[in-house]
Every structure is written in structure tokens, then in C-alpha cells.
Amino acid sequence: MTEIENNKGQAEDLVIDKQYRLQEKSKAIEIIKRGMDIAREEIPKGRVATYIPELGKVDPHQLGIVINPLKGEKICMGDYDVRFTMQSVCKVIMLIVALELCGREAVFSKVGMEPSGEAFDSLVELDVSNSKPYNPLINSGGLALCGLLLPELSFQDILRFTRSICSDPEIVLDEVVYQSEMKTCSRNRSIAYLLQSKGILKKDVEDTLRFYTKMCSMSATADSLSNLGVILANDGVCAETGKRFMPSRTARIVKTLMLTCGMYDGSGSFAIKVGIPTKSGVGGGLLSVSDKRAGIGVFGPALDTQGNSIAGCKLLREISNDLRLNLFYDPEWNKETEEENDIIRGIRGSHVI
């Protein structure tokens, strides 16, 4: 199914501002449709997250996307309204809340700011080479953040904030997925006890684990994620209401970590190939932020070997440059290959070794 929602005024095209223009509306739709077709070809190469039994039952062939620009029309395609659990996408919300509630110093005393280079649920770097999680967007980092939040907030507090910042009152705890995860969370439990042994996690391990897993089990849609993304793209402010959800500094920290750490041990490759700050979850969700341009939500439950949506990543790669979503896109710098060939000839002619 395909739907185009015009809920942001009567703009005829997806104008972001005088400098950035995604594309004329019909052209944008054409680009996204073509990208969806190409991305669907990747689905057979992926697998759903069977290590969580309930996620293993999800139809892997689903794919949906919402492009939510600061100005202009929201474009929704495919399975954009299908509900799935946020899983690690919720770590973006955890980080926003922790930075605001506890402060930057407290947060980064518990977690680092560097890519881990390891799988999202790895214990190796924490046990062997570091005294705290490398960053807040891997499982060990999320558990460490929960240790900060749990004394101050309940799950219901987080749920209310999530509904608000995602503009989705229908976000709930998926109880079935939650119970399924709690029965199979031995690895996260091991990480939590390791954090406790290092003095990073001060609260009860089982309480922290339940709190963390409930947040991962919040339901969402690609549309929900795009609503969060467009707030981050607009410096923490809702463009429609003018409400500020976070200070500029918090928005910048979150987006930077999404770019450098949001795709686990595939973050560097994704940054080069796609160039959009993104956070993934094993439920198939992708939250992407094209700064000053658009928020993007994607759902595609078939995962690659790193735990990222295989079709979703391909789709973002296909549309990133054509829709001018790449973080480093600039209309003045988007030169054609003739100039690149001139540069190559210049290098060869200079005899640089």
C-alpha cells in the first residue's frame, strides 16, 4: 500500500529551506518507489531475529518507509503503519532522557562515546579492554543508562515521553514480546552482572533488566520513528507546535552518536555509503535523521549479519543522494564526474607517489 499524507500545509513540493530541496514531490515519490523495488530484492538475504522467539514469527517480507520533512508533505509507502517493537531504537530515547535528567557528566561517566567495533550484544570489549561500555547505543550502554534512569523514572514515565516525542499515543508495551525476551535474555543478563561487577550498575540487576527490556518492547511504526526523527532534524523542536523536547546540545550529541555508533559494527560503512545518522533495532526499525531536512522511519524485519534491517539499509542507500538526504550533501558541492576526472588527471600529472 502507498499513502501520501499532506498534514503540513499546502506545499507543492518537499522544500526544506532555500538551500536544501529534497526533490519535487512526484520526483521524490518516483525515487522512493524505485528504491523500494531494489531494496525488496535484498530481503531473501536476511533473517528475522529468531533468538527472540516472538520476533522470529514476524513476516520478513515487510518493508515500509516514511519521509517526514520539516516543510512539505509526509510521504508514506509500503508497510509504514505496521507495529513492531523498537528494540535498540529506544536507546535514542534513553539517551535523550538520561542527558536531560542526569546531565552529560553523569551519563558519560557510565558510558563512552566511541564505536565499539563489536556486535551489539558483545561482552568482549567490556570485559577485556574497557572499564565501561564504549557508547550508549549498544546493549551494555543501554543497560548502563537504565541504571541511571531507574531510580528517577518508572517505565510509565518513559512510555509517556515516548508517546509524546513520537506523536503516537498508541505506543504500548508489547507484553508478548516482552515476556519472550525475558525468557531468552541470558546474554543481556550476563552483561548486566558484568556491569555490576565493575561498579557501573549500582541498582538491582533484575530490576534493571526488566526496565531495559520493557523499553525495548515498546511498539512503534515507521511513522512514529519519523516523527521522532524530524524533531531531531529540527534541533529538538517540533516544527508543527514549536514545542522544544530537548536543548540543542542534547540533539547534537544524540545525532553525532547515531552517525558514529548507531549501526553497531556496521556504523562506519553505513556512514560512508548512506551518510544519514541512523539507529537500528533488531525488530527491523530504522530511525534516521537528515539534519535540517527530514526525519525518516523505516521498517524491514529481515536483518543482515550485524542486526540491521537489510532491506531498510539498502533503501536508505538508494534514496540518500537522489533525495539529498546525505548529511554532507550541499548543492554547491555536488559536482559532476567531469570535475572529478580533472582532479584525477591533476593528481597523475603531479607525479604524487
| Active site residue ranges | 88, 91, 212, 264, 282
C-alpha cell, 264: 553497531
Secondary structure letter of residue 303 according to DSSP: B
C-alpha cell, 106: 553523569
Rg (CA), the chain: 20
| Contact (CB, 8 A) for 41 and 107 | no
C-alpha 98/C-alpha 254 separation (Å) is 11
Which residues share a beta bridge with 111? Answer: none
C-alpha 251/C-alpha 219 separation (Å) is 23
Q: Which residue type occupies 114?
A: E
DSSP string, 14-60: -B-SSS-B---HHHHHHHHHHHHHHHHTTGGG-B--TTSTTGGGS-T
Strands 74-78 and 2-5: antiparallel
> DSSP 3-state assignment of 205?
helix
> DSSP 3-state assignment of 218?
strand
| Contact (CB, 8 A) for 319 and 35 | yes
C-alpha cell, 140: 551494555
Secondary structure letter of residue 264 according to DSSP: G
**Helix%, strand%, coil% for the chain, nearest 5:** 45, 10, 40
